[in-house]
Structure 1
Amino acid sequence: MTAITETALGRLEAEGRLLNSVLKSTTKKPGRFGFRGDIALKFPAKLADEARPPEISSDQVIMTAKAGETHIEFMTGFLLSFEYLKLLAEVLGDALSPQGKYFLFVDNIDISKKYQCEYGGATFYILPIDESTVYNELLSLLYIEKTELKKLDTAGKTDAVADKALTFDETFPSISYEEGLKTMGPIRNIYENRPV
């Protein structure tokens, strides 16, 4: 059985960044470790022993890494702002690789646009999110039918999505991080209009 410490996710776990997990274990594929949850990108100042939620996080994350490899092979997640790509790349650091497949669904980019952005030695697919979940958006992008995954458990679904994502070879217009900052919209208050 693969331990998280044998993979590129070990450092993130040690730093206390892997939060709210619905999966944090080996998958059905030998040597592969899967995570589904949130990644803390920026912590608030710590007061005494108080554990406070992160100031900034990437939510609805799905990622996989293999034992003995230094990089995350596949990752997808939600970012409230394109600007947070810099934070994400800094947090993931040397766990990013040109060989990895990284998909980010970003709240404040034009809903009709899709981009590729090279940052931190990796290529990120920057995609709009249309009032849906990262999981549903990714299934749609990868042409995976939900019915195909119905009988699988969370680990099995993670394998199926990761395997398909690793073969993804579509290309989108390239933008630099600086260009992305210029074109992004305002950051939405996700708690607005919600009942208290």
Structure 2
Amino acid sequence: MTAIDDTPLGRLDKEGRLLNAVLKQQTKPGRFGFRGDIALKFQPQLADEKRPPEYTMEQVLTFGEEGKSTLPVLAGYLQNFAFLKDVADVLGDALSPDGKYIIFANNIDFLKKYRVSYGDKKFYVLPCDESTVWKEMTDLLSIDKNDIKKLDTGGKTDVVLEAALAWHEEFEPITYEEGVAAMEPVKNRNENRPV
């Protein structure tokens, strides 16, 4: 049985950063999957009260492998492109220079797709329009939901992440600073939604 502490997700779990988990278990021998949110910045705590984080990377899909120190693949949603710095800092040594990290950002131009460098880490950054990371990933990777509907949550997550590992596209390369300079105002996700 693969335990979370035997994977790079163990440190994040100990720090109380893995939240709202839809999946947080072994998905196959030697692999521990996670679907949920990762806290990027905590609010100050007074006494023993537990406060929600100030902001998170939402709808994360990733897995850690037993005995490995880095996450090979990760996808998630950021409300603000500027939070990419926090992703790189918080996940730190759990990210590798050759990992496949796909971020959907709320406030970048809908027509743009970037390959963003931050230190020695590289991220694919794409726009996200009112959809979910799951839907965006299955569209990006051309995965038919009927092909995976009989699988459990862990099995579906593995199929999507394995396809992500094999996926590659050339996007405009930019630095983090160039991305921050070009980012747009954060969109209200609840705007124009029926009540």
Q: TM bucket by the smaller chain?
A: over 0.9
Structure 2's unaligned 5+ residue stretches are none
Q: Distance in 1 between matches of 2:96 and 2:159?
A: 21
Structure 1's unaligned 5+ residue stretches are none
Q: Distance in 2 between matches of 1:108 and 1:114?
A: 12
Q: Distance in 1 between matches of 2:142 and 2:74?
A: 17
Q: Distance in 2 between matches of 1:48 and 1:189?
A: 33
Q: Distance in 1 between matches of 2:119 and 2:39?
A: 18
* Contact 2:107–2:186 (CA under 8 A) maintained in structure 1: yes
Q: Equivalences for 1:43-192 in 2 at 5 Å?
A: 43-190=42-189
* Contact 1:90–1:120 (CA under 8 A) maintained in structure 2: no
Residue 15 of structure 1 corresponds to 15
Cα distance, 1:73 vs structure 2: 1.1
Q: Which amino acid in structure 2 is aligned with residue 54 of structure 1?
A: P
Q: Which amino acid in structure 1 is aligned with residue 111 of structure 2?
A: S
Aligned positions, number? 195
RMSD: 1.5
Q: Which amino acid in structure 2 is aligned with residue 21 of structure 1?
A: A
Q: Which amino acid in structure 2 is aligned with residue 121 of structure 1?
A: D
Residue 37 of structure 1 corresponds to 36
Q: Distance in 1 between matches of 2:181 and 2:162?
A: 34
Cα distance, 1:191 vs structure 2: 5.1
Structure with the larger strand share: 2
What TM-score do you get using the length of structure 2 for normalisation?
Answer: 0.96
Structure 1 residues 155-192: Cα deviation after superposition (integer angstroms, max 9, x where no partner): 00111011101111211110100110111001234455
What TM-score do you get using the length of structure 1 for normalisation?
Answer: 0.95
SS in 2 for 1:86: helix
Q: Which amino acid in structure 1 is aligned with residue 37 of structure 2?
A: D
Q: Which amino acid in structure 2 is aligned with residue 7 of structure 1?
A: T
Cα distance, 1:103 vs structure 2: 0.4
Q: Distance in 2 between matches of 1:51 and 1:90?
A: 23
User: Percent of aligned positions with the same letter in both sequences?
Assistant: 57
Cα distance, 1:41 vs structure 2: 0.3
SS in 1 for 2:174: coil
Q: Distance in 1 between matches of 2:119 and 2:189?
A: 28
Structure 1 residues 130-156: Cα deviation after superposition (integer angstroms, max 9, x where no partner): 221110001111111111111011000
Q: Which amino acid in structure 1 is aligned with residue 118 of structure 2?
A: Y
